Amino acid sequence: MIDAIAQHNPPLRLQHRFLKKSCRSPRVLEAVAAYLAAYCDHGGISAAETSAAIDKFVARYQRDLTAFQKTGRYPRELGQDDFDLSRTEYDLFLIASMLFTRHRFRIAELLAGQEPSRAAAAFIGVGSGVELALAPRARHSVAFDLSVSDFVRGRFPGVVFQERHFTGGQEAAYDVVYAIELLEHLDDPQALLRDVHAALVPGGTFVCTIAVNVPQFDHALNMEAGAFEAAVSELFAVRYMERIPHDYRMSGIDAENVMYHLERKAK
């Protein structure tokens, strides 16, 4: 599927070729490509339709980047966050972008490189399900989202899916909690941080990312590493942090994701 998509889209073909040549984790690249193929096969989605969904998302994001350059404000702040994008189109972009952009692939690499043999794991936000495919298996996994597709349910029969907000629930229930590319979507991420703290065992790990200067149509917050670390300092200790820059050199925007491993502190 990835080769067929690349044939439909010369810019994507060049990006994928570059990523493939520079890739130090070919198994991760293969796993994401296989997941994209399975997603498209399940939905009867063609390479041309996938390419069109990617182009649609990129065109909108380029417009929002231009507005951000001029105003320093996100689409929601400008009242321009409406976007006629289906859930399937969004999923296609989120999966495929790991095969074309270095920052998205680096997130995939880091997620796949987590320590294995966790007893219990929670995933906050399911979306396309690609994070479930990449993260190491736990003996017991629970995933939370307001809606979970039939494809994802069928792909991960061993995962318990909860179609609701994550609210912590039983205290000290999980050894690890994942929230990948989620916090910037929330109006009040601090509330979620408190729920995650309550849900983790003492010394448990919160694996999360934040987005900095990424004016995506559905992002509520422009986050910043120093401010985030200060905000979590009472609840968590930073055990690992990696800045993952976006390749927008021509725009002059210093956009990045930041990956964190946060260790739960005792209250």
Q: Are 210 and 234 found together in one domain? A: yes
Q: Are 191 and 162 found together in one domain? A: yes
For the chain, the residue count is: 267
Q: Are 138 and 210 found together in one domain? A: yes
Q: Are 137 and 256 found together in one domain? A: yes
Q: What is the extent of the structural domain holding 142?
A: 115-264
Q: Are 121 and 95 found together in one domain? A: no
Tens-of-pLDDT digits for all 267 residues of the chain? 888 887 878 888 888 888 988 888 999 999 999 999 999 999 999 999 999 999 999 999 999 999 999 999 999 999 999 999 999 999 999 999 999 999 999 999 999 998 776 799 999 999 999 999 999 989 999 999 999 999 999 999 999 999 999 987 667 789 999 999 999 999 999 999 999 999 999 999 999 999 999 999 999 999 999 999 999 999 999 999 999 999 876 567 899 999 999 999 987
Q: Are 157 and 259 found together in one domain? A: yes
- For position 112, what pLDDT does the model report? 95
d(CA 70, CA 73): 8
d(CA 80, CA 172): 41
| Dihedral angle over CA of 178, 183, 188, 192, nearest 10 | 0
- Look at residues 183, 135, 174, 179 and name the one whose alpha carbon lies nearest to residue 28: 135
d(CA 32, CA 128): 11
Q: Are 127 and 186 found together in one domain? A: yes
Tell me if 182 is assigned to some domain.
yes
Q: Are 84 and 120 found together in one domain? A: no
Tell me if 105 is assigned to some domain.
no
> What is the number of structural domains in the chain?
2
Contact assessment for residue 133 and residue 114, using Cβ atoms and an 8 Å cutoff: no
**140 backbone dihedrals φ, ψ, rounded to 5°:** -140, 120
**Element spanning 35, H or E:** helix 26-43
Beta strands in the chain (DSSP E): 118-124, 138-144, 159-162, 174-179, 200-212, 236-245, 256-264
* Identity of the amino acid at 5: I
Of 52, 67, 99, which one is at a domain's C-terminal end?
A: 99
Q: Are 145 and 62 found together in one domain? A: no
Q: Are 219 and 153 found together in one domain? A: yes
Q: Are 82 and 185 found together in one domain? A: no
What CATH number has the domain bearing residue 185?
Answer: 3.40.50.150
Contact assessment for residue 2 and residue 37, using Cβ atoms and an 8 Å cutoff: yes
**pTM of the predicted protein model:** 0.94
d(CA 143, CA 242): 25
Tell me if 108 is assigned to some domain.
no
Tell me if 110 is assigned to some domain.
no
Q: Are 249 and 119 found together in one domain? A: yes
3-state secondary structure 222-257: CCCHHHHHHHHCCCEEEEEEEEEECCCCCCCCCCEE
